[in-house]
Amino acid sequence: MREKSDEIRETLGERMTDVGIELQRLVRSAAGEVHAGETVKAQMMRAHEALKRPDWWRFKAAWYGEAHGGWPVSVVDDFRARAAARKRDKEEATAREQTSAAATLAALRRRYAATDPEFFGEQIGAIERALGIESDPSPDPVEMAGKE
Comparing C-alpha atoms, which of 1, 64, 2, 57 is closest to residue 27? 64
pTM of the model: 0.61
Instruction: Give the pLDDT confidence score for residue 11 in this predicted structure.
Output: 44
Instruction: Give the pLDDT confidence score for residue 15 in this predicted structure.
Output: 53
Could you tell me the CA-to-CA distances from 136 to 37, 43, 57, 90, 121 in Å, in that order? 52, 51, 62, 37, 12
Question: What residue type is 116 in one-letter code?
Answer: D
Task: Decide: residue 78, CB within 10 A, 0-12 exposed, 13-18 middle, 19+ buried.
Answer: middle
Residues 51-65 have pLDDT tens digits of: 999 999 999 999 998
DSSP state of 13: T
